[in-house]
Amino acid sequence: MLLIGARLIGMPIMGLQTGTRLAITKTPIIDPSNLKIVAYEIEGPLLTDNPSFLRIADIREISNIGMIIDSSDEFIGLDDVIKIKAIYNLGFELVGLNVIDEKKNKLGKVESYNIDSDSFIIQQLNIAQGLIKSLSDAGLLIHRSQIVEINDREIIVKSAAKKLEPMVKPGKLSYMNPFRSTETVNNRDN
């Protein structure tokens, strides 16, 4: 199921062991190489490390009351997982990145994103266009398969349409009825 990424920010983290709220999610830690959320930075009074994180692998379920985990033992510090530390230190922020096409036309900025709730992979980007464009269009929705490159400044996506070559060169056009044989057409011309 697709979820709006912003819905998971500020979400309570509930522990099965105690049945209480342990923390809340603060920001997602997104791997820019594959647009997968690897963890959430979290905040709350019970945390011992600053910053503290919840790995995606430790989430049992997302429900209407929040993210369900086993216990507060699932929370980790910055130095506990090398990969999370490396991605966190990149400082990658998806929301607000410029989006351009392969022809360098600016399409807008990432306003929000939609994730697959099973894999936490970002599937769609919601693009806010400039003021003039937004008056005539509702916005753009870009699927992850359209992304060509992601760098520190922008996301490059495939161009919307390629120019089509004309099928027939301009000039005299002749049409042939497929139900007539060529002999009938030749006899009629005489």
Number of Cβ within a 10 Å radius of residue 75: 22
Does residue 53 contact residue 76 with C-beta atoms inside 8 Å? yes
**Token duo for residue 1:** 């199921």
Q: How many angstroms separate the Cα of 12 from the Cα of each of 8, 43, 46, 72, 115?
A: 9, 10, 13, 13, 18
Q: What is the pLDDT of residue 140?
A: 86
Arithmetic mean of pLDDT, 160-170: 46
Would the pLDDT of 32 be above 90? yes
According to the model, what pLDDT value does residue 131 have? 64
Query: Which domains occur in the chain, in start order?
Result: 2-90 (2.30.30.240), 98-157 (2.30.30.240)
> What is the per-residue pLDDT across 125-163, written as a single tens digit (0 to 9) for each?
999 987 655 555 667 899 999 999 998 889 999 986 544
pLDDT tens for each residue of 80-110: 999 999 999 999 999 999 999 999 999 999 9
Report if pTM > 0.75: yes
35: its two tokens: 């647009």
Dump strand ranges (E) for the chain: 2-4, 12-15, 21-31, 36-43, 52-55, 61-63, 66-69, 75-77, 98-101, 106-116, 122-128, 140-143, 147-150, 154-157
- Which of 50-54, 110-114, 152-156 is the least confident region? 152-156
